[in-house]
Structure 1
Amino acid sequence: MNKKLKVGIVGGGGIARGVHIPNYLKHSDKVEVIAVTDIVKETAEDCAEMFSIPHAFTDYKEMFRKCDLDAVSVCTPNKFHAEAAITALEEGCHVLCEKPPAINVAEATAMANAAKENNKILTYGFHFRFSPEVRTLKRFTDAGDLGEIYAASIQAVRRRGIPGWGVFTNKELQGGGPLIDIGVHMLDAALYLMDYPEPESVFGATYQKIGNRKGVGLMGDWDWQNFSIEDMARGMIRFKNGATIMLETAFAANVEKDDVMNVSLMGDEGGADVFPLKIYKEIHESLIDISPAYLPKKGYHELELESFINECLTGEESLSSPEQGIIIQKIINGFYESARIGEAVKIEDSEKASKL
């Protein structure tokens, strides 16, 4: 394919300006960002001016009518992911949609169906998969060096890291708080390293203890008076193969460190912590810790966008699939449903809840 990939951006806010557009522009020999759309006219126009993008719109349907696009980045609040992605797929575009896939399982499933029906790429912004730690450990897990991975623990915890910008504390627009925003990153990394097993049940609890009152903000001042999400979520996921994951995620918690993002895996032949990467084995009657002497330093987001560009141009398989998007959405919805009713839920039963 000799022509350049023509890209449109849906949502001209922070993630588009800080991640998607700059990394597309690093590949100007392969990519042209020709349009940006945002429901706020000034945001669309400012974004277009900032990056010398030729066209700015307030309606992405108008963008599709007036611009010949090959691919789209969906960078909107979570509530609008599904409609924007499905429209783009039906217009013949490949789609990189920011995480999480959607608000509920029905939307994630509809997105996957649209990708299949239109024979287009749909992939999600799980950029931690592109970290050198995850990519290195994946080679070990694929080779069987950890054996059967039957247990994992996840942490995505901030001491006072409630975002003071955007709509991160608005449940209607985001669908939830730290679980659906930062916890989902570590959950995806764990599932990816475990070959995405099918979930069976979830037991979860959510808390709103700190975010709904005024306090110290390490990521800006948040709107505590309109704080409608959880500030912490904890629980366990059980899979059909018998494996379990313990999950803990928080925007605000009374802990020592400002920010902890980690996945720990336990298999019958070895275990590992991912961030930083260390592998634990029993070899020749000795307990051995293995750490890499060197890991590449290229940015996770840069590698993510580079991969998406190559997928669009060559047709190679995406690292993140629509089917995996459905699985992770089932777990998220199941977690919130369990927290709502106060008991464990079967994943199949939790899918009946169309809203979080």
Structure 2
Amino acid sequence: MGKIVRVGIIGTGGIARDVHVPNYLKCGEQVEIVAVSDVVKEKAEKLAEDFNIPNVFSSYEEMLQKVQLDAVSICTPNKFHHPAAIAALQAGCHVLCEKPPAITAKEAEEMASAASKAGKILTYGFHFRYAPQVEMLKKFIDGGELGDIYAARVTAMRRRGIPGWGVFTNKELQGGGPLIDIGVHMLDTALYLMGYPEPDTVLGVTYQKLGNRKGVGLMGSWDWENFSIEDMARGMITFKNGASILLETAFAANVEKIDEMSVTLMGDQGGADVFPLKIYQEKYDSLIDITPAHLPKRNYHEQEIRRFVDGCLNGTPPLSTAEQGVYLQQIINGLYMSAAKGEAVKIGEIAHTHLTQKEGEGFDE
């Protein structure tokens, strides 16, 4: 590869328009966006016109065949992450795929295998890893300040935050609701700070109490009559090293805060809340709290794109790896499966198929 990364965009919705394309352009002469594709070609044409992108396609297969690319961003609904990533990797492209990795654990495994076989980067859009709070805390953890992190709590809760646009409430295209959409961000952040331990057992429950009826929408009006996802999920994950995580996530719940995204870590030498960052320790016969006086302001998405481009050009390892994506997808699928079965599930027992609503989503209705 030369000193310019030739990029193609698969899917031209909001995340492509507002995040990927603008931040690739910030990379200057290192990047050239040469093609976009979308099944709705008019959307692709509009994006290409707005950002001066020369090639437009209605399918990523045609784009990969007709244009020489070094890398692609996958910005499609979750259902299409797997086939698009496989096709791009087989075409010799590095891949930055939006979260979650896929719909099923089997798909995530196949994507990781394809990346390994192709010798290409496969990384995921977990931009909270680039938050200055996370970067600072990671240094404390690597320095042994928290010791053995054996417990964590993950929260991604909205009071009335069901997206009123896109396909976020369509289970067939997204694979689920808040668990796979926003909960996955905080879960990944906790796992990253814990060193991504191997999951062992999950226990999950899902609810559909508010999304399938008319109500107040703080993120626009949603199609409540065709609401096929959970509006809340809760769970516990245990790991083979003995650690555990408690998780709670919702698009809609009767809670005080309008929007809460948080991670709490507990180790034998210290603990921490991440958003905002505060560290808790016992030192010199005292209980002390450590709060940073200053943290740099940063565009998380820009840092994510720059890391990906640097990997394409210089071989810098991705911050989010394909192997971590497999663990994460196993946990997500395990929680949905546990909710459907009404009992805890061993990760090794997960059948690599996606549960449909007819098979039992586990909703408590």
Q: Normalising by structure 1, what TM-score?
A: 0.99
Secondary structure of the residue that 1:320 maps to in structure 2? coil
Q: Which amino acid aligns with 2:194?
A: M
Q: Which amino acid aligns with 2:177?
A: G
Alignment of 1:151-166 (within 5 A): 151-166=151-166
Distance 1:334 1:246 in 2: 14
Q: Which amino acid aligns with 1:177?
A: G
Counterpart in the other structure of 1:110: 110
Counterpart in the other structure of 2:313: 313
Deviation of 1:51 (Å): 0.9
Deviation of 1:351 (Å): 3.6
Counterpart in the other structure of 1:275: 275
Contact conserved, 2:147 with 2:267, CA < 8 A, in 1?
yes
Deviation of 1:348 (Å): 1.0
Counterpart in the other structure of 1:86: 86
> How many residues are treated as equivalent by the alignment?
356
Contact conserved, 2:38 with 2:44, CA < 8 A, in 1?
yes
Alignment of 1:253-332 (within 5 A): 253-332=253-332
Distance 1:169 1:259 in 2: 18
Q: Which amino acid aligns with 1:306?
A: R
Counterpart in the other structure of 2:150: 150
2:247 counterpart of 1:251: no
Contact conserved, 2:307 with 2:316, CA < 8 A, in 1?
no
Alignment of 1:131-280 (within 5 A): 131-280=131-280
Give deviations 1:65-98, integer Å, cap 9, x for gaps: 2111000000000000000001000000000000
Contact conserved, 2:79 with 2:175, CA < 8 A, in 1?
yes
Contact conserved, 1:333 with 1:351, CA < 8 A, in 2?
no
Contact conserved, 1:154 with 1:245, CA < 8 A, in 2?
yes
Q: Which amino acid aligns with 2:14?
A: G
Contact conserved, 2:106 with 2:353, CA < 8 A, in 1?
no
Give deviations 1:315-345, integer Å, cap 9, x for gaps: 0111011100000000000000000011111
Secondary structure of the residue that 2:107 maps to in structure 1? helix
Give deviations 1:107-138, integer Å, cap 9, x for gaps: 00010010000000000000000111111101
Distance 2:314 2:351 in 1: 35
Q: Where has structure 1 moved over 4 Å in runs of 4 or more?
A: none
Q: Which amino acid aligns with 1:321?
A: T
Distance 1:147 1:61 in 2: 48
Note the residue ranges of structure 1 that are not aligned, 5 or more in a row: none
Contact conserved, 2:3 with 2:313, CA < 8 A, in 1?
no
Contact conserved, 2:204 with 2:338, CA < 8 A, in 1?
yes
Note the residue ranges of structure 2 that are not aligned, 5 or more in a row: 357-365
Give deviations 1:231-272, integer Å, cap 9, x for gaps: 000010011111110000000001111100000000000000
Secondary structure of the residue that 2:95 maps to in structure 1? strand
Secondary structure of the residue that 1:29 maps to in structure 2? helix
Distance 1:165 1:220 in 2: 7
Deviation of 1:144 (Å): 1.1
Q: 1:83 to 1:352 in 2, by over 3 A?
A: closer
Distance 2:274 2:115 in 1: 32
Secondary structure of the residue that 2:56 maps to in structure 1? strand
Deviation of 1:27 (Å): 1.1
2:40 counterpart of 1:30: no
Counterpart in the other structure of 2:66: 66
Contact conserved, 1:103 with 1:355, CA < 8 A, in 2?
no
Contact conserved, 1:334 with 1:351, CA < 8 A, in 2?
no
- How much identity, in percent, do the aligned residues show? 68
Counterpart in the other structure of 2:360: none
Q: Normalising by structure 2, what TM-score?
A: 0.96
Secondary structure of the residue that 2:81 maps to in structure 1? helix
Distance 1:279 1:106 in 2: 37
Contact conserved, 1:203 with 1:335, CA < 8 A, in 2?
yes
Deviation of 1:64 (Å): 1.2
**Aligned-residue RMSD, C-alpha:** 0.9
Distance 1:355 1:19 in 2: 31
